[in-house]
Structure 1
């Protein structure tokens, strides 16, 4: 444990080791934390803070205000505060803080953006990609699995044949925070995966390989999907997370089962999933305005 007066960066360095080693955060996520906490540390030093015990909420609020004046948006400032709060919670557990300096600190109000989705006809057209060669078969299976199971792009790229149960129609994926979940796979996706599977596929072989047999990278998959959407005449920009949104929206629209959609997507907080109910009501309003005799606008 570091005492008062120890360099601020030492505590930050130990926290980042905790995230990478104990919590097994993805490198990109840990790097994001590192950047935000480096900013916090520099600000604290300019305020004359030499120990995290002496950092005051007003000083943290001043950092948020300064970053807002520099042009950072509300969403980015919420990420900054989330990183700070995680760090302070860890310091509290380590006994290096008596109270969190983030208590009562607020970022500008976040405008909630509804995710874009494909309608059912667009999704159907996208999935009708001709799998006439090995590369097209791989892309078709990736599209089907993204739309069928609502996977994140990193989850899809990490799937190996050992993770698939084609008989039961299930796939095991590892999501944020190294949390594992098992989700169903639809019949069309299963058919595409069976057509893709080599006769002697090893259990450790990636389902979606890139060059030299290594797993396809998220960046490469995004490029493939963008290209395939263009070939299928989809004007909207198509990316893996769009298919995750589309899966969730279509499933909720058909079933109304919010908890089931939460489990499918691997959301820790159902409030994250509830955004799709707003999307559903928006669609309902559009249908009502278009179809109900008493709703037609003049």
Structure 2
């Protein structure tokens, strides 16, 4: 079976083979294994979109890219570069499909011409060392805490201590969280392009989690933070955002973004300040690309120059 036939018959296998044997970025350097995993997840999403439209890699056109990129933008937070990454990936893919004879032209070319990395990308928001310490103090349980405050401290403790995304925290189950013994940790399952990982829990984060576990005892398979008055539905994003904002308000932190992302950035910056590399920190965040961590490291460099 020649390569063009493989792309038609087994597109997933063809893409993986191309990524691991030939594909390269704009600098002509081969992609790392972590990047390949991310690219494969992105390709799979694109291919699913084509299949729902009744077209193939050989027959899709600009109108299908329009609908795909619209879908990507509708599902992503404002200000992210997700659409741009997809444009770059699909442009590389289409150029390769032309090279192997599967396509006569590249329908992504016009999208790629107008695509560029933003020059005014906002600086990541994070807590400085003093605010980080203040929030670590805030999450310590108090004998007078009611159930709501006990839960809220535990939510913030897990976000700040492990660098989870909001979606990862919402899906966390007690079997994933170890708060006793010599190695407290949280295991995060693979989710989309984010890799499976295990993150050590710092000492400041475990008392709040232990207090919440005592107050809300649950089986191992239960959600750590179920929605109020339920056991099987995760806490929703609106309530989660409010919990984080209240905590940040309490320590006097104010910024345009008061979401769980600030705590994730703070976690990442703490790892970099402790001497971890971009690769190590990205792995702790479950990220294939180092782009986010590099931007956070730049905030450290800016303060020392």
TM-score by length of 2: 0.63
SS at 2:156 equivalent: helix
SS at 2:154 equivalent: helix
Deviation at 1:117, TM superposition (A): 0.9
In structure 2, the residue matched to 1:288 is none
CA distance in 2, matches of 1:223, 1:268: 29
Contact 2:84 2:117 in 1 (8 A): no
Listed as ranges, the matches of 1:100-119 within 5 Å are: 101-102=107-108, 105-106=112-113, 107-111=115-119, 112-119=121-128
Contact 1:158 1:173 in 2 (8 A): no
Deviation at 1:241, TM superposition (A): 0.6
SS at 2:199 equivalent: strand
> Which structure's CA Rg is the greater one?
1
Indicate how the Cα distance of structure 1 residues 217 and 75 shifts in structure 2: closer, same or farther if over 3 A, else same.
Answer: same
Contact 1:74 1:110 in 2 (8 A): no
Residues 275-297 of structure 1 show CA distances to partners (whole Å, capped at 9, x for unaligned) of: 22211101212xxxxxxxxxxxx
CA distance in 1, matches of 2:211, 2:59: 62
In structure 1, the residue matched to 2:25 is none
Choose which of 221, 245, 248 in structure 2 pairs with 1:229: 248
Choose which of 234, 258, 275 in structure 2 pairs with 1:255: 275
In structure 2, the residue matched to 1:239 is 259
Indicate how the Cα distance of structure 1 residues 77 and 256 shifts in structure 2: closer, same or farther if over 3 A, else same.
Answer: closer
CA distance in 1, matches of 2:244, 2:189: 22
Residues 48-85 of structure 1 show CA distances to partners (whole Å, capped at 9, x for unaligned) of: xx9864678xx68x97xxx9xxxx98947516626855
In structure 1, the residue matched to 2:178 is 165
Contact 2:195 2:288 in 1 (8 A): no
Listed as ranges, the matches of 1:42-191 within 5 Å are: 53=58, 75=81, 78=84, 81=87, 84=90, 97=103, 101-102=107-108, 105-106=112-113, 107-111=115-119, 112-129=121-138, 131=142, 132-166=145-179, 167=181, 168-177=183-192, 179-191=195-207
Contact 1:127 1:140 in 2 (8 A): no
Indicate how the Cα distance of structure 1 residues 228 and 51 shifts in structure 2: closer, same or farther if over 3 A, else same.
Answer: closer
Out of 129-138 and 72-81, give the one that drifted further: 72-81
Deviation at 1:165, TM superposition (A): 1.8
Listed as ranges, the matches of 1:4-23 within 5 Å are: none
Deviation at 1:205, TM superposition (A): 1.4
Indicate how the Cα distance of structure 1 residues 266 and 99 shifts in structure 2: closer, same or farther if over 3 A, else same.
Answer: farther
CA distance in 2, matches of 1:227, 1:217: 16
TM-score by length of 1: 0.64
Deviation at 1:98, TM superposition (A): 7.1
Out of 151-160 and 263-272, give the one that drifted further: 263-272
CA distance in 2, matches of 1:99, 1:203: 54
CA distance in 1, matches of 2:134, 2:146: 19
Unaligned runs of 5+ in 1: 1-22, 42-49, 286-298
Contact 2:160 2:267 in 1 (8 A): yes
CA distance in 2, matches of 1:217, 1:273: 27
Indicate how the Cα distance of structure 1 residues 98 and 163 shifts in structure 2: closer, same or farther if over 3 A, else same.
Answer: farther
How many residues end up aligned between the 2 structures? 236
Give the alignment's Cα RMSD to 1 decimal: 4.1
